[in-house]
Structure 1
Amino acid sequence: MSFYPVLPPILLAIVAAVAVVARIASLRQLLSARRRTRTQVWRWAGVTAAVVLLLIAAARPVFGDDLQTTPAGAADGQPNVFLVVDRSPEMGVGDLPDGRTRMDAAREDIAAVVDRYPDARFAVIAFASGPSLEWPLSQDTWSLRSVLAAMEPYGDADVALTNVAAAGNVLRYQLIGARQQFPRANNLVFYVGSGASASEAPQRRFDVAEGSVDGGAVLGYGTTRGAPLPGRPAVRSTLDEPRLRAVAEQLGVPFVQRDGTGDTAAMFGDAGEPPQESGVTASARPTETYWAPAMLAAALLLLELSLTLRDLQRSRTRAVVT
């Protein structure tokens, strides 16, 4: 069994330590109560078990060996590809040829990246005003494709708060963790966005560790003429090329303007050729098991939530009666 945590090991250890301290404090409070019931003790145990299960799921236990490694460590040489995707409302603007939206073109280019590196490990970090790790680093590209195909801009995000570097901290720690787990693999970063021209927020910078990015590109979508945001005709969004070029400089990768109609070869000028297959004699892959403890934890937490709502309803009923 191997572990591929969704967070850097040190950060996950800190989260685990905080969770343990919180549960011990809760237990001491329960034991010091004058009146406690067996049900309260069982509920404490259930929530504690859910926390432990969530920590196990975050550690991503994997069973089995990757048999696509006839030469020792061949799979470790496959790149780690990080897709940093702008999901702000500006990506829903339809200013590309044939009235296509920026997200339409972005989805096609992202699919081209997955096609180019079919055996790579992929991670997806989405952002608008803040980041979201929507797909932890994994070789499960079959499931990833359906997630990417359904990706749309956030409908309720405040366009004035969009930050081009909102994913900076998450990307930094994901790159560090990937380098520690797969030291022989290149880290490729493909940033997909329009530059947040309608944002009024101060823009942050990407601060990645030196040498942690080995290639990739910043892909820019939109036109200098722009178009109004869907449902907000008073707000016009344009391609902010200077901001995107600044992001490219911070990441150490080239900027490539895209409209969904050109050849995708320009996207990979700095990423190099994908590793060649070498003498694979079997195709079995490790079995991801994080979903099992995650589902058990969800069931325990739902049970605790239902009991809490029941207690709240009873307390309200007593208050009305008295």
Structure 2
Amino acid sequence: MSFQHLIPLWLTVLLLAPMLLACLVLLVRRPRQRLAWLRRALMVVLLVIVALRPVTLLEGESTQRMNANVFFVVDRTGSMNAEDYDGARPRLDGVRADMHQIMDMTQGARYSIIGFDSSATTQLPLTTDAGAASAWIDTLTTEQTRYSKGSNVDRPLDTLLRGISEAKSTDPDSSVIVYVLSDGENTDGKDSETFSAVAQFTDGGGVLGYGTPEGGPMKAVGGETDGQYITDSSGAQGLSRIDETQLQTIAGQMGVPYIHRTAPGGDLAPTMEGITLRPIQTTARQRTPSFDDHSWIPAIPLAVLFVWELAALTYRLPRRLERGDFTRQDPHAGEAQ
């Protein structure tokens, strides 16, 4: 048994020791309220235990890094809400499913996520924390519709080049695997810059396309029209259509396959062709720290005592108000006029 303090020990003592001392003094000095002050003292003791956070350390599972750096380039523009994936589901559903599938294929790799909409940013720097990557995937949304300023699939190009060139330089023994997940639709009226420079740093990956040539309607995100279908300038329902020609061009420039994704699952093996994942040789195996947290045990009776205290205060409040009203009456109110 050991302790993983929720707050520093000195702060626990500074805050809770005076409270406990006050409860014990009043427990002795107010015998008619002894039960109430005993309850409050016990609440403070239980709060101390929760703050100390008793835990039992567990032997963590050994983890080894694999020789792969996986970069996800994710389209977060409003068109990725278009409902023409796997029937009438939003395209982002497909992106989430495919990113999880790729992570299953590359367990132990390092992951980085670059998101782009009206701008491009590194959402997750290169890390072995697969949990952080999964959490980002599960909460993936598009940009708010009112902030959209037009999009182009080349927007993340500079950010991607910086990331993969640095990974290749600092970790030359690992493969760089890049996945671009998009519908390929440009709405800024400009031609896309070439992705040819990516090829020199890339060992595998793919361009994954979402949507249909017929297109799908999309709902607005944020603002007064949140959840409503977007309309065009004529008032008709707006449609977003996949640009497979654009996506195929990018895949050719990068030297990776293009795959049209229409439903969860399916074969992504071509994106890993020629890549063999193996553990990176290190002087020691890292262990993932873990423990059983027992702070919930004192938290249960603490919650019960808190409800008891609240109920007792609520029960006494009307009586106190009545006594207060009586004592504040005009002492001369009963005298004859």
Q: Which category of TM-score, normalised to the shorter sequence, fits these structures?
A: 0.5 to 0.7
2:104 aligned partner: 115
Tell me the distance in 2 between the aligned counterparts of 1:157 and 1:177. Answer: 35
Specify which of 219, 223, 240 is matched with residue 208 of structure 2.
Answer: 219
The alignment status of 1:249 with 2:252, answered yes or no, reads yes
1:259 aligned partner: 262
Contact (CA 8 Å) 1:217, 1:248: kept in 2 or not? yes
Q: Deviations over 1:177-232 (max 9, x none)?
A: 10111010000001000011544333222242552000000000000100233231
For residue 274 of structure 1, report the CA deviation from its aligned partner. 3.0
Change beyond 3 A, Cα 1:271–1:194: farther
Change beyond 3 A, Cα 1:136–1:278: closer
Moved more, 180-189 or 270-279: 270-279
Q: Deviations over 1:111-161 (max 9, x none)?
A: 111111111010000012321100000001012211111011112366662
Structure 1, unpaired ranges of 5+: 1-66, 70-74, 287-322
Q: Deviations over 1:26-77 (max 9, x none)?
A: xxxxxxxxxxxxxxxxxxxxxxxxxxxxxxxxxxxxxxxxx856xxxxx4x5
For residue 109 of structure 1, report the CA deviation from its aligned partner. 0.3
Specify which of 180, 184, 190 is matched with residue 201 of structure 1.
Answer: 190
2:230 aligned partner: 232
The alignment status of 1:133 with 2:133, answered yes or no, reads no
For residue 96 of structure 1, report the CA deviation from its aligned partner. 1.8
Which residue identity does 2:208 align to in structure 1?
L
After superposition, where does 1:1-322 map in structure 2 within 5 Å?
Answer: 75=65, 78-156=67-145, 161-208=150-197, 211-230=200-219, 231-234=229-232, 235-266=238-269, 268-270=271-273, 272-275=275-278, 282-284=285-287
Which residue identity does 2:172 align to in structure 1?
P
When Rg is computed on C-alpha atoms for both structures, the one with the higher figure is: 2
Change beyond 3 A, Cα 1:86–1:143: same
TM-score, length-scaled by structure 2: 0.58
Tell me the distance in 2 between the aligned counterparts of 1:184 and 1:107. Answer: 29
- C-alpha RMSD over aligned residues: 2.7
For residue 273 of structure 1, report the CA deviation from its aligned partner. 4.2
For residue 261 of structure 1, report the CA deviation from its aligned partner. 3.5
Tell me the distance in 2 between the aligned counterparts of 1:114 and 1:106. Answer: 12
- Count of aligned positions: 214
Tell me the distance in 2 between the aligned counterparts of 1:93 and 1:275. Answer: 39
Contact (CA 8 Å) 1:162, 1:201: kept in 2 or not? no
Tell me the distance in 1 between the aligned counterparts of 2:100 and 2:146. Answer: 25
Change beyond 3 A, Cα 1:248–1:241: same
Structure 2, unpaired ranges of 5+: 1-61, 220-228, 233-237, 290-337
